[in-house]
Amino acid sequence: MTTIFDSPLLIFPGQGSQYRGIGKDLFDAFDTVRHLYEEANDTLGYDLARLSFEDPEDQIHLTRYTQPVLLTHAIACLRIFNEQTDYSVNPKASAGHSLGEYSALVAAGALKFADALRLVNERGRLMSELGEGEMEALPLALEDARKFAEQHYCAVAACNLPDQTVVGGKATDLNSLVEAFEEQFPGKRSSRLKTEGAFHTFYMIGAALEFRTALENTVWQSPSMSVLSNTTGRFHDPNPDGIRAALFSQLFNPVLWHANLVYAAEQGCRTVIEFGGGIGKGETPAEKKPNLAGIVKKTFRRHDNPPKYVSIINEETLAQAVAQLESHG
């Protein structure tokens, strides 16, 4: 089978792409996916499959549960894609937005799935219990948003596009920041995000200090492909110690997602393949849309030769991607 997915970058979304029913279609269709969820249940000591598919106690949007749910779904999508395509797609690099960086490291062989699951389970618990604050998305460039943040005891949490930056801080400080922003830019509007804390800011330092032990007690390998770091915007040092330290810092430093995508393209990635998650008003997996598609397309819309974009987030998109490969085989 000849691949049409040239020098692909594998990408994985973070929190905000979870929903009740996530993964149910793939679970029902494929033994590989069922075995993965069984492994997740055994690793975590609770029924992650039932939480993902039914969410009977309304827990899927709680950070401590969201993170294992999304990592498991992302790896399920990746594994069944590889299986269905006879491992014919050879990725050049991987990247993940925030939590998604752990899925990217599993994809690169730097972490075993079960170890990553234990890590994000602990990461989610600590972020929920020890973090504080809220987050606001601003239609501003990184440095412009940073000025507003620093004037109001807040901090930049992520830069997703040249004109889309997320800041975090206490609710009262964010309210003051938004008031100043709207006064200076009366035609623009910001939006408060639904999170349990000001992730990727100094409000997460306490969580990071506790999380360090889990990072140090986990077995790591050098990745089999380049993996992008959220904190630098460039590739991780392949040394496991460097990756471990970078993930410690990631908890309280901004996610430079726009920089990740641009750098990957500069390094020769010609296709972007997104795995896992889903957003949109529909309730079933088939009705969901990929989380990062809009950001990817806006990042490269003015490029002369933008990377090809593909998503594998449900049974339908999986079939479409496999069909594209087979039609060019």
Give the confidence band of 42 by pLDDT, cuts at 50, 70, 90.
very high
All CATH 3.30.70.250 domain ranges of the chain, comma separated, are 134-193
Interatomic CA distance for residues 16 and 70, integer angstroms: 9
CATH 3.40.366.10 fits 8-130+201-327, yes or no: yes
Longest dimension (CA), the chain: 57
Say which range, 11-15, 22-26, 85-89, 228-232, has the weakest mean pLDDT: 85-89
All CATH 3.40.366.10 domain ranges of the chain, comma separated, are 8-130+201-327
pTM attached to this predicted model: 0.96
Interatomic CA distance for residues 233 and 33, integer angstroms: 32
Catalytic residue among 17, 52, 94, 98: 98
Is 159:97 a contact under the CB 8 Å cutoff?
no
pLDDT reported for residue 162: 96
- Over the range 211-226, which residues count as b (16 or more CB within 10 Å of their CB) and which as e? beebbeebebeebebb
Give the confidence band of 2 by pLDDT, cuts at 50, 70, 90.
very low
236 is catalytic: no
- Is pLDDT at 1 greater than 90 in this prediction? no
Percentage of the residues of the chain whose pLDDT score is greater than 90: 95
Is 311:273 a contact under the CB 8 Å cutoff?
yes
Token pair listed for 18: 């979870």
- Is pLDDT at 8 greater than 60 in this prediction? yes
Q: What are phi and psi of 311, to 5 degrees?
A: -130, 145
Interatomic CA distance for residues 237 and 154, integer angstroms: 30
Cβ atoms within 10 Å, residue 16: 18
Residues in the chain: 329
Q: For residue range 122-152, what is the model confidence (pLDDT) as tens digits?
A: 999 999 999 899 999 999 999 999 999 999 9
Catalytic residue among 97, 152, 200, 236: 200
Give the confidence band of 226 by pLDDT, cuts at 50, 70, 90.
very high
277: left (phi over 0), alpha (psi -120 to 50) or beta: left
Q: Which homologous superfamily is 134-193 in? A: Malonyl-CoA ACP transacylase, ACP-binding (3.30.70.250)
Cα torsion through 207, 212, 215, 218, rounded to 10 = -120
Q: Which of 20, 28, 10 has the alpha carbon at shortest distance from 81?
A: 10
128 is catalytic: no
Is 251:201 a contact under the CB 8 Å cutoff?
no
